[in-house]
Amino acid sequence: MAQSLDEFIEEMKKDLESFASEYRKSHAENPEHFPLVLDDNNEGLWLEFLVDHATRDRS
């Protein structure tokens, strides 16, 4: 299925907003397991978390 750059960007924006909302909810329920700040040299985990979220339900 063809996809334009603009369509891809819109999809990523939705994924990012969805990830942020879900992560903040998880943080409110379990702040120790879902911190809002990652330690030095761990900031790459944000991208891993986002990719996991964005690809979780896609086939």
The predicted pLDDT at position 58 comes to 67
pLDDT tens-digit readout, 20-46: 999 999 999 999 999 999 999 999 999
What share of the chain has pLDDT > 70, as a percent? 97
**11 contact partners, CB below 8 Å, separation of at least 6:** 3
The Cα–Cα gap between 11 and 36 comes to 24
Q: How far is CA 56 from CA 17, 28, 46, 50, 53, in A?
A: 15, 22, 15, 10, 5
The pTM of the full predicted model, rounded to 2 decimals, is: 0.84
Task: Answer for the pair 49, 15: CB distance below 8 angstroms, yes or no.
Answer: no
The predicted pLDDT at position 55 comes to 92
Higher pLDDT, 22 or 1: 22
